[in-house]
Structure 1
Amino acid sequence: MRYTTPPAIDDLLEMAERALGAIPSELRENVRGLAILVEEVPDDDTLEEMGLEHPWELTGLYRGTPLTERSFGDVPAQPDTVLLYREPILVEWVETGEDLFRLIRNVLIHEIAHHFGFSDAEITRLEGEG
């Protein structure tokens, strides 16, 4: 899809929902009840927590307890959430020329893989699939 204006939050959310169906099956099969939210930019508290100075440095964030840190009987207080940040994604899209759907898919894969406690090498492999 070609855009003549920057895609809105709803456009990115729609792409993210489609991208969720296009992630590798080893992730998709185990992600149920995941909430996907799109916000303009990370808030100041998030930037401070992540040690970042500029909001465009963060395209996505997983919020929840990774499976590697859960006990069998744990009941999460809130659903696992992947936050996608519209402005940083659009900046990366413009700067790299990457296909926007593929970029959103890769951000989703990266953040969902954190849920599973995957290493950076495993995440890079998953991003390359598909």
Structure 2
Amino acid sequence: MLEMTADDFEALVGDELDQLPDDMLDGLDNVVFVVDDRPEDGSLDLLGLYDGVAVTERGQYGFGEMPDRITLYREPLLAICDDVEELRDQVHVTLVHEIAHYYGIDDEKLHELGWG
């Protein structure tokens, strides 16, 4: 298991977020990115989570809505990586995966596209 401080991990996530294509990020509205150590159940099974309503399922959406959240889980991601380069790749894939959920793309389609 790779070890990395929470601050260093958060910086790495920020760097990977900056590397994503503008057209992927430009459509995001009222979304926050969060880093947590583990999911609420304490497991290492979940790498990331989109918590919100996909744009394809939104009715009227406007001022005052709580932001959607995309969470990346530090310990599960570190647990599956042997080095920083592998971690960068996995964080990138996880970000794309969770952002895709925002756009209404489900897990089945993501697996078909190779982002599962």
Q: 1:69 aligns with which of 37, 48, 57?
A: 57
Alignment of 1:1-130 (within 5 A): 6-44=3-41, 55-71=43-59, 73-75=60-62, 77-94=65-82, 99-120=86-107, 123=110, 125=113, 127=115
**% same residue:** 29
Q: Which has the higher helix share?
A: 1
For the aligned residue pairs, the C-alpha RMSD in angstroms reads 2.6
After TM superposition, the score normalised by the length of structure 2 is 0.79
Runs of 5+ in structure 1 lacking a partner? 45-53
Instruction: Mark the CA change 1:85 to 1:123 in structure 2 (over 3 Å): closer, same or farther.
Output: same
Give the number of equivalent residue pairs. 112
Normalising by structure 1, we get a TM-score of 0.72
- Is the Cα contact below 8 Å between 1:39 and 1:86 reproduced in 2? yes
* 1:25-82 superposed Cα distances (whole Å, 9 cap, x missing partner): 44222124431111111013xxxxxxxxx711101001111111102x3136311211
Query: What's the secondary structure of 1:41's corresponding residue?
Result: coil
Deviations 1:86-114 (A, max 9, x none): 110011113x9962111111111101100
